[in-house]
Structure 1
Amino acid sequence: MRTRCHPDMRNEIDILGHVPEPSKKSERDLKYSTELNRWFLTPIGMWPTRSTTGICEKVFSEVLVITSCFLICFLLVPCGLHTFLKERDPTLKMKMIGPLSFCCMSITKYLFLVARKDSIRVCFEHMDVDWRRVKLLDDREIMLDNAKLGRFVVWLCAAFMYGGGFFYHTIMPFSVGNIVTPDNITIRPLTYAVYEPLFAAQTTPAYEIVFIIQWFSGFVNYTVTIGACSLAAIFVLHICGQLRIVMSRLENLVEGSSDGKCLEDRMAEIIELHLRAL
């Protein structure tokens, strides 16, 4: 005869138990699933800091945020002014719309990331709890499979973004070479045009400085895109793993399991796991 329990009002801790202390295995698994997020979010100051983080690390993170905003604007503002105030050729204007749109999207995504930094931290803490509570080997395998798929998606995004960005910011300007105007003025190519009234970018060493800053600005733009995609990939696939665990619990709901739990306890666990996934 199937064991039955008396239903009562229980919370998450009553059903799933207290959150265990971090173990070497849970810390290793969490690091594996979030490692790429750390790599791509740290350079732009978007890796969430804990309340126990030192003041120096917090200040350094804020400096990275300010620097990243400056670098994105260094591309967007001078190039936008040149395109709409100085450039008269409609064809060249249309060619610059694409890079300007990409910069606008980058600064928009970055500001959203900055505004939601605390929410991102909460999501990572949620993942940490899920990894700590893993007891069954099958559940761990499910979560590791989804973490592996998430890492593949992030690597794929990074390869395309950095590969295309390196070609656009490094190879393309050098392949074009210097341009000599009918007035016998030599123009050295830049990835993004610069509005001359702001500063002259064709003289040495101004040209070299602007070229290097634009290169790092492009790096920030691509890293913002990769960072946003990495968050989406890792979080979504982690949720998929949790839902697969819920499905495995549903398959064993009627047949029972070796843990000795009654039907109501197993049903409550399924509901609580589903709510956490949502």
Structure 2
Amino acid sequence: MYANKHYENDIKYTMQLNRIIGRLLGVWPSMDTKSSNFKNLSRILHILTCYFLLACELIPTILYVIVIEKRPSVKLKLASSAMFTTTAVLKYSILVFTQNQIRNCLMRVRDDWQNVASPRARQFMIDKVRTARRLILLCGLFMYSAGLYFRTFVPLTKGKSINDRNITIRFLPCPSYFIYFDGQISPAYEIMFTMQFLSGFIKYTITVTICSLAALFAMHLCAQLEILMSLINDYVNESDEKKLTKRLATAVKYQTDMRTFFQLVQNTLGNTNLLEVMGCTLLVCLLGHNIITEWEDQDVIALFLYLVLLTSIGFNIFIFCFIGEQLSEEGEKLSLTVCTLAWYRLPDMNKARSLVLIIAMSNIPTKLKAGKFIDLSIKTFGDVVKTAVTYLNIIRRVME
């Protein structure tokens, strides 16, 4: 094995963005086996605060839809916001309860950096880390820019309005009904505006966190597949018979560890990926309906708002599908590599027979799944769009 002298800097560079985003939610696991009571208590308080802020938006919005709002079309518009918040709460809960699994995945990534096979293997891993960081930055850019526009610019540009009872109404990011106090009176309005802004920030951070973990682990797996292909080619092209057994053992261990890590990643991210795919499908459907409605009403500000949100959600699910597609392609490259090996160059047939199990394992697909039944790929992205359009047509017919 190549002694990677720069592994500490490599690990820091690999996990830097993930650590920053995860700590905003209090779900970034500590690499230490034992944490102090103060750290554990602060993490629990951090998590409870995030739940509190999410509940401060979700519950008043649901009450507003049930108690105050009577128009079906407006209820349908508010349903997208309530659904996004509900999905965010579920995804956040999964992140909280799978911290140990996330820690195990991160420790495997750390070990791989520390025990990198060669300088060329290190370069493979660095290239994939750069790709992962670009995906994380793009996801954050789209989510936070759309959220900032929705949470600040839209309600503030609406100004104030006077209802039928001659009462001045100041708009919040999400329409809300508060049972025990009037949300229009200062300082209650300013407090609730700030809390809804923070709640939105948490929701977008949850989405970016899940995307960042998927990008980190999937791109790391892609690097491991490229390293495995290099090790297998080195085994076949080895001219020194004494080194063949060692190279074979290295390739077998690498493949076994890679498959174990892949299964761990699948178990860790499967449920969040499923929520992401299903939630984005329904959100795209509802946002599409809102865009059509605002186009008919000629409300330019609201129309632009829903277009921004639709673009953000659509790009987010595309990133997930793109990550899965990249991993699947690397798995297919490995399968093609092992099936076209020049095994006849090996000194005897016993060495060639040793490749049989490696070839068999390499033909097992490496597809990242949402749950256990939806493959994340570009084809899945097309299916999400088609499904959303189908639901949109159904809603349009029902609302007519």
TM over 0.5: yes
Runs (4+) of structure 1 exceeding 6 A deviation are: none
- Please name the residue that 1:251 is paired with: 233
3-state SS of 1:262 partner: helix
Alignment partner of 1:82 is 2:64: yes
Residues 255 and 179 of structure 1: is their aligned pair in 2 closer, same or farther, counting only changes over 3 Å?
A: same
Match of 2:54 among 72, 79, 87: 72
- Please name the residue that 1:262 is paired with: 243
Letter of the aligned partner of 1:183 in structure 2? R
- Please name the residue that 1:63 is paired with: 45
- Please name the residue that 1:36 is paired with: 17
In 1, the alpha carbon distance for the partners of 2:59 and 2:5 equals: 48
Q: How far is the alpha carbon of 1:216 from its aligned partner? A: 0.6
In 1, the alpha carbon distance for the partners of 2:105 and 2:54 equals: 27
Bigger drift between 261-270 and 90-99 goes to 261-270
- Please name the residue that 1:160 is paired with: 142
Alignment partner of 1:197 is 2:179: yes
Match of 2:26 among 18, 32, 45: 45
Q: Is the 8 A contact 1:78 1:198 kept in 2?
A: no
Q: How far is the alpha carbon of 1:261 from its aligned partner? A: 5.9
3-state SS of 1:179 partner: strand
Q: How far is the alpha carbon of 1:265 from its aligned partner? A: 2.1
Match of 1:228 among 210, 218, 224: 210
In 2, the alpha carbon distance for the partners of 1:261 and 1:125 equals: 33
Bigger drift between 160-169 and 78-87 goes to 78-87
Alpha-carbon displacement from aligned partner over 1:141-175 (angstroms, at most 9, x marks no partner): 00000001000000000000000000000111011
Letter of the aligned partner of 1:41 in structure 2? G
- Please name the residue that 1:124 is paired with: 106
Q: How far is the alpha carbon of 1:24 from its aligned partner? A: 5.9
Q: Is the 8 A contact 1:161 1:222 kept in 2?
A: yes
TM-score w.r.t. the length of structure 2 is 0.62
Bigger drift between 198-207 and 225-234 goes to 198-207
Residues 60 and 223 of structure 1: is their aligned pair in 2 closer, same or farther, counting only changes over 3 Å?
A: same
Match of 1:272 among 253, 261, 279: 253
- Please name the residue that 1:112 is paired with: 94
In 2, the alpha carbon distance for the partners of 1:199 and 1:129 equals: 54
Question: Alignment length, in residue pairs?
Answer: 258
- Please name the residue that 1:7 is paired with: none
Q: How far is the alpha carbon of 1:122 from its aligned partner? A: 0.6
In 1, the alpha carbon distance for the partners of 2:180 and 2:28 equals: 34
Letter of the aligned partner of 2:28 in structure 1? W
In 1, the alpha carbon distance for the partners of 2:155 and 2:256 equals: 52
Alpha-carbon displacement from aligned partner over 1:157-194 (angstroms, at most 9, x marks no partner): 00000000000001110111111112211110001122
Alpha-carbon displacement from aligned partner over 1:201-258 (angstroms, at most 9, x marks no partner): 1001100000001111111111011001100010000011011100111111111178
3-state SS of 1:254 partner: helix
Higher relative contact order (CA 8 A, sep 6+): 1
- Please name the residue that 1:143 is paired with: 125
CA RMSD for the aligned pairs? 1.8
Bigger drift between 92-101 and 45-54 goes to 45-54
- Please name the residue that 1:174 is paired with: 156
Q: How far is the alpha carbon of 1:196 from its aligned partner? A: 3.1
Structure 1 gap ranges (5+):
1-15
In 2, the alpha carbon distance for the partners of 1:28 and 1:263 equals: 33
Match of 2:165 among 162, 168, 183: 183
TM-score w.r.t. the length of structure 1 is 0.88
Alignment partner of 1:219 is 2:201: yes
Letter of the aligned partner of 2:68 in structure 1? K
Q: How far is the alpha carbon of 1:275 from its aligned partner? A: 1.6
Q: How far is the alpha carbon of 1:264 from its aligned partner? A: 2.4
Bigger drift between 268-277 and 193-202 goes to 193-202
Q: Is the 8 A contact 1:76 1:103 kept in 2?
A: yes
- Please name the residue that 2:297 is paired with: none
3-state SS of 2:179 partner: coil
In 2, the alpha carbon distance for the partners of 1:241 and 1:67 equals: 37
Bigger drift between 262-271 and 70-79 goes to 262-271
In 1, the alpha carbon distance for the partners of 2:65 and 2:9 equals: 50
3-state SS of 2:248 partner: helix
- Please name the residue that 1:4 is paired with: none
Residues 257 and 157 of structure 1: is their aligned pair in 2 closer, same or farther, counting only changes over 3 Å?
A: farther
3-state SS of 2:237 partner: coil
- Please name the residue that 2:386 is paired with: none
